[in-house]
Each structure stands twice: as C-alpha cells, then as structure tokens.
Amino acid sequence: MMNNPKEQFYSQVEQILDEVREPLILHGGNVELVSANQESGIVEVRLHGACVGCPMAEITLKGGIEATLMEKLPQIKEVRAVS
C-alpha cells in the first residue's frame, strides 16, 4: 500500500492514462507518464508512435488526455507534452 501522497497521485494518474491508452494503441500511438506534480497540478506526458508528428496530437492531448485527467482528478490544472 502506498502511503506517500506523491506516489498515490502518480499512481492515480497512471491508472487514468491506462483508460485512454487503448484507443491510442489502436491507432498506432501511445502515451507515457513522465511526471505528475500534485502541488502544481501539472502532468507531463510523452506521446509515442503514430502520435508523434500527427496533426491530431494536440487535440488528443488537450481534448482527450487532459480532459479525462481533469474530470477524474480535479486538482490537475494542465497536461503538457514533452519530447
């Protein structure tokens, strides 16, 4: 059991990302959790595969990944893609 709130938050974010991964994988892409800062509410992810360079990547990031994370974890303020 995780007692560390930072580890718990990271784990919660990872579980939610697991829910959005399936459609990404079906289209040849994926998303990796790079960092999740509970204090700032900023989550950093790295897009992989077909997501890299895709014209829809920003829509997927903001409208899909960020929207889902913010809905399920209201303390999240922003999701950023890092390379």
Residue 59: is its pLDDT beyond 90? Answer: yes
**What are the tens digits of pLDDT across the range 10-35?**
999 999 999 999 999 999 999 999 99
Q: How many domains does the chain have?
A: 1
**Residue ranges making up the domain that contains 63:** 5-81
| Strand, coil or helix: 18 | helix
Give 10's contacts (C-beta < 8 A, 6+ positions apart). 33, 36
CATH classification of the domain holding 58: 3.30.300.130
Q: For the chain, what is the mean pLDDT? A: 93
Q: List C-alpha distances in Å: 59 to 42, 48, 82.
A: 18, 15, 15
- Please name every residue paired with 79 in a beta bridge, in sequence order, or none if there are none: 43
What distance in Å separates the CA atoms of residue 82 and residue 25, rounded to the nearest whole number? 19
- pLDDT the model gives residue 5: 84
